[in-house]
Chain A
């Protein structure tokens, strides 16, 4: 199985990355000028990579589906970014960040990758400060930190509740600088619809100009996918409306393997679903759990009255409130990791203690910290989040607790990559949320931003040189080659096929149906019977979709329904693969909870003997079952233990 060489360097953990960097090839400045790189996506991963590669001298073409690179979904990240700076003198270190990340991921990530992530994390903060990112400061002028779910040190850097925005603007500014110098050519409102593989190597992409509908070919010596996560397979999620798994999925269909698709993260603190007209869910930053206490009523009849609107939360005295996280997990309390907090909320609501009319909400209460710290402090910390909450729900969280419920938020699974971030297609790389590499079965808060920027600023720019050093004799890629022609035809045929179904049902109808299947059977809690139902249900729905979807408008004009239909067509396939992967992994780890694998008191139970591996799927053709490969995970530096937050 030569395809699956993870290329993890030999040597002690702490020296792997420096030894690797010393050993890999470097491209000379003169040769860099002759090489072209395509970067698809301009989120934290893509923008930082495109800018850094262009600074090095490569010719970069960057793509995004929005009208501007600044609007990538990374913009929405609120809480913060981790880094092992130990500025707080609380005994943080690279090793501790590494250890927390591996443990938080429930021992389903590669040690070497995670260590490297922790190792470069301090550089990210330095870089962002130099770019002018206005991180929060202490009165003495030093950088401020906060602590974030699931860890015991304060290592999270933040810019109010808009950290993702500020980090992305930093990367976008670096990108703009390279665009102005002519080193990056930016293609906004362009959607990648296929990757082109020639002689076994990635050589370009096919993209649709979303304004004119024109299908275009782009060639390069290497292609980088930085297209984010596939959480929207659930229809309702905290992802941006256009976020999709399609670029990654096209890579999969061309031979890039897909790892751990069933590992998705459910975030515990989102504004609950409300009615049937809702289009997306809004996250309330995890940082709120630092100062908010989570509770439901102790008495079923109180919950009933709350649901009926007969009483309000403030009518329930403290002794009748069940602070169930503090009760179940005394040492971590409200700061348990996301998966634990999410399942605990579901457990209470399933038991009948939910507090909104739908019975699917718990309280997050700031009364206690307002009493302790004063309203001013809370306002300074969370003002914009409170405002957002009030605008959406029309309720004032300074006066009554927020209502929250878990929602889909992040995909740990993604395109399989080796230590160099290269997929199983030579010359094709995947970075940021689009790859699977660092978070195992559960991602810790404030670590996605760290990973995106680590990949883009400090890892890919080195590792891609190793491959491109072998490409310096390759001339400019000819987009008239038959491989491009074939890929373009495939794309056009598929668009025609979709457009010409001319059925009776809207894209959203099908997407909502898919979302229901996914949430019910492939969501927070999974079992064999449900997963099998999901697979057959998705297959049936996909057939209906291809027979009955109705796409209005024109092919050669701006056509949002056509865009959505193309993405949904891939979500059916992604959803099915997720269910398959979840079915085969009969253990509970991180975000993946199998009802068949629990301890006596109902907590998740891992099975390291059978499942301490990455599950990797290979596409074998339409209507064929994909093949499963396994990359064993070797732990030499951490001790595997059942996670305990008690």
Chain B
């Protein structure tokens, strides 16, 4: 438990001033980082040093810093969210690294997620997929009592497993095809598991998949890389459910 000090680290990080810039790696040295610090706290220290030296700090997305908002998105040593399982970048701690390590940090790389600056990418494509049907069509008001429809505990739990997706995009970054299938499947599955969402389940699957294709995400070839890197352990079994909904939707066309 006791924290140690990592005396020296080399941070090899992607620098790209804007979407038009070609971008390149730069390596910075950083000293005396506690193993109890989070990865983003290490980045704070790095940026502080850079500012003091008059160098533009590394831009990266972060907000909640507790693994739930899904905004942090670093590709660390070849893995989305770095070398720990079931965590986001902000939950990754420096105890996963050793003194003297070179740590490579890149943005998510996917055609549908263009780089904005350094490690910051544009993920509005995810919003757009959900806008294509990732909801239940009810207005505010005029709905039945919450207990009017019974839902088995298992169904509610399974829906919750899928609904835990934080929309971070690690699945896309991990996939050699840049497919967004796990993300789409998580939403389709969450809603399809509940009676409230059943009614539109087919149309939802069809419309979201169509939108995903339009937005430049690749196809799914079942490599399982997404599941392995998903910080919320969303299971690829949801992709199977999505495929079922999708096929039914296609047949009934």
Contact = CB atoms under 8 A, between A and B. Distances in A.
A51 B140 contact: yes
Contact of A67 (B36, B55, B61, B196): B61
B191 interface: yes
A246 interface: no
Given A141-B153, A176-B135, A388-B66, A134 B163 contact: yes
B105 interface: no
A282 B90 CA distance: 12
A66 B71 contact: yes
- State the main secondary structure of chain B at its contact with A: loop
Interface residues of A, number: 83
A262 interface: no
A131 B57 contact: no
A414 to B, nearest CB: 21
A83 to B, nearest CB: 9
A85 B146 contact: yes
A295 interface: no
B79 interface: no
Given A68-B167, A126-B145, A143-B147, A558 B36 contact: no
Nearest to B138: A130
A127 B41 contact: no
Interface string B144-174: 1111011111001101100110110000000
A76 B64 contact: yes
Contacts of B144: 126, 130
Contacts of B116: 211, 558
B253 interface: no
A136 interface: yes
A162 interface: yes
A560 B159 contact: no
B84 to A, nearest CB: 8
A561 B140 contact: no
Contacts, number: 221
Given A137-B153, A279-B40, A131 B136 contact: yes
A395 B3 CA distance: 12
B53 to A, nearest CB: 10
A274 B140 contact: no
Given A130-B143, A142-B150, A558 B48 contact: no
Nearest to A212: B18
Contact of A142 (B134, B147, B190): B147
Nearest to B211: A180
Nearest to A394: B1
A66 B63 contact: yes
B130 interface: yes
Contacts of A516: none
A129 B196 contact: yes
Given A131-B136, A242-B63, A169 B163 contact: yes
Given A67-B61, A162-B164, A552-B55, 16 more contacts: A69-B127, A71-B63, A71-B71, A126-B145, A130-B138, A131-B138, A135-B146, A135-B156, A173-B136, A188-B124, A211-B116, A277-B33, A277-B44, A282-B65, A309-B2, A552-B57
17 contacts: A70-B70, A75-B68, A76-B66, A131-B138, A132-B197, A134-B163, A143-B147, A176-B130, A180-B132, A240-B64, A277-B34, A388-B66, A388-B67, A391-B93, A395-B1, A458-B141, A552-B55
Interface of A: 48, 51-52, 55, 66-71, 73, 75-76, 85, 87, 122-123, 125-132, 134-143, 159-160, 162, 165-166, 169, 172-174, 176-177, 179-180, 186, 188, 211, 240-242, 274-275, 277-280, 282-283, 309, 387-388, 391-395, 457-458, 461, 506, 508, 550, 552-553, 557-561
